Amino acid sequence: DADVTQTPRNRITKTGKRIMLECSQTKGHDRMYWYRQDPGLGLRLIYYSFDVKDINKGEISDGYSVSRQAQAKFSLSLESAIPNQTALYFCATSDPDRGRETQYFGPGTRLLVL
C-alpha cells in the first residue's frame, strides 16, 4: 500500500466551483506539504504544516486554503476555482527526526478547471 495517498487522482471542474483535494499518509510524519507543478515552472509550495496546530503559507497561497484534520490528513481547498489553477498537485510528508528529512510525495492530483 502507498504511504502517501491523494484523492481524487483526476478532477475536472468549472470556474467558480469549490473543490477539495485530500491527502492521507501512513508514514507517521508530523510535517505535510502541498505543491503545485506547472510545465516550465517546477514545484511551487502552496501551504505547509509542521503539526496539527501549525499552518503556514508557501510561495503561492492566494486562492487556496488548507485544513490539517489530523496528523495523517491534510486537505487543500480551492474556494472558487479559476482556469489558471489547472495544474498537477502533489502532497508530501517529512519527518524532522530522521536526519536529512527527506520529503516523500503522493501520486498527485491532476486538476482541470474549465
Partner 1 sequence: GQNIDQPTEMTATEGAIVQINCTYQTSGFNGLFWYQQHAGEAPTFLSYNVLDGLEEKGRFSSFLSRSKGYSYLLLKELQMKDSASYLCAVRDPGNTPLVFGKGTRLSVIA
Query: Which residues contribute to the site for partner 1 (CB under 8 A)?
Result: 33, 35, 40-45, 48, 50, 58, 88, 90, 96, 100-108, 110
Q: How far is the CB of 16 from partner 1 (least distance, A)?
A: 27
Q: What is the largest CA-CA distance in the chain?
A: 43
Q: For the CB of residue 18, give the shortest distance to partner 1 in the complex, in Å.
A: 26
Q: Give how far Cα 63 sits from Cα of 13, 50, 66, 71, 72, Å.
A: 15, 21, 11, 24, 24
The smaller minimum CB distance to partner 1, of residues 8 and 16, is found at 8
What span, in angstroms and rounded, lies between the C-alpha atoms of 41 and 56?
A: 21
Nearest-angstrom CA–CA distance, 44 and 49: 15
Comparison of 38 and 79: residue with beta carbon closer to partner 1: 38
Least separation in angstroms between residue 86's CB and partner 1 is: 15
Is 108 or 111 the residue whose CB approaches partner 1 more closely?
Answer: 108
